[in-house]
A and B are shown apart, each in its own frame.
Chain A
Amino acid sequence: MIKKADIILAAILIILGGMIAYMMASTDNRGHAVLITVDGKEYGTYSLYENKSITVKQNGHINKIIIKDGMVTMAFSDCVNQTCVHTGAISKTSQSIVCLPNKVMVQITGQGQGEAEYDAISN
């Protein structure tokens, strides 16, 4: 009952997924800064190398983000699904922690102290 078109479609999807996964993996870089956005707007940027605990309070929602030893984790969230807390620790530029119910997003960016230092030397 499986037709030829099914197999072709499956092959196309596997190749597409593999290509995107490869592209993501090849652009995987060590980040330098932690960018926290709330509802698409920037909440704050923090260094990835400085141990810090940030509590984001907005619209009655609480999210607690911990930066420790170059890794970022969502330690606490008052959201329903707890997906953000279960995401675990992130440290690379392609990674992010998203809390959709609270619209909080934690991203790792390349711009930060590392690049600032580089600029200082080249100037």
Chain B
Amino acid sequence: MTQYQTNRDKTKRIAVSAVLASLGLIFSYIEAIIPFSIGVPGVKLGIANLVVVIALYALGGSYAFSINVIRILIAGLLFNGIFGALYSLGGACVSLLTMIILKKTNIFSIVGVSMAGGVAHNVGQMLIAAAIISNIKIFIYFPVLLFSGMITGIIIGFISYLVLKKLNV
């Protein structure tokens, strides 16, 4: 009976992961066709991160990681280009790692975790950009990316909080 239940639980998690990955892909697509830009390069809302934050809280770190990697690779192949996927992947890994660590400390709310994730995402992308272009001068954008990461992270955190409350997980 317990074996059956854990198996069923695992199947449910995998199914939910697949749904969330698809949802993240749709979000990536929306962002690719409607470029939300405020005139500063590198600044975007990152609505796909909503899926990652929800997955992190509803399913756990490893599920969130898988969902995000799948989403980025498919989005890269379909519309962002492999080059874009490389940046996204770097930013996403740094971001998710930060969020997992902060969530483990148990002193931050979902908004704080998401905020730190947003900042980490931008910093991670910038580190990869600096490595590819092999120039440290790219850090000129640091303050802009830091503040934009904070704001988008807070927005994503709030929405995630509301969604999770409705989902009752």
Contact = CB atoms under 8 A, between A and B. Distances in A.
Interface of A: 1-6, 9-10, 13-14, 16-18, 20-21, 24, 37, 39-40, 80-81, 83, 86-87, 94-96, 98, 100-101, 103, 105, 107
B119 A13 contact: yes
B60 interface: no
Nearest to B129: A100
B36 interface: no
Interface string B116-131: 1001000000000100
Contact of A96 (B87, B140, B146): B140
Given A40-B133, A40-B134, A24 B146 contact: no
B163 interface: no
B41 A1 contact: no
B65 interface: no
B67 interface: no
A32 to B, nearest CB: 16
B87 to A, nearest CB: 8
A4 B110 CA distance: 12
A105 B42 CA distance: 16
B146 A17 contact: yes
Contact of B112 (A9, A18, A87, A100): A9
Contacts of B81: 80
B132 A100 contact: yes
A100 to B, nearest CB: 6
Interface of B: 39, 41-42, 81, 83-84, 87, 105, 107-112, 115-116, 119, 129, 132-135, 137-138, 140, 142-143, 146-147, 150, 161
A21 B111 contact: no
A72 to B, nearest CB: 14
Contacts of B112: 2-3, 5-6, 9-10
Given A80-B81, A103-B133, A105-B135, A3 B146 contact: no
Contacts of A86: 39, 41
Contacts of A37: 135
Given A1-B161, A6-B111, A17-B147, A24 B140 contact: yes
A2 B39 contact: no
B108 A9 contact: yes
5 contacts: A10-B112, A13-B115, A24-B140, A37-B135, A105-B135
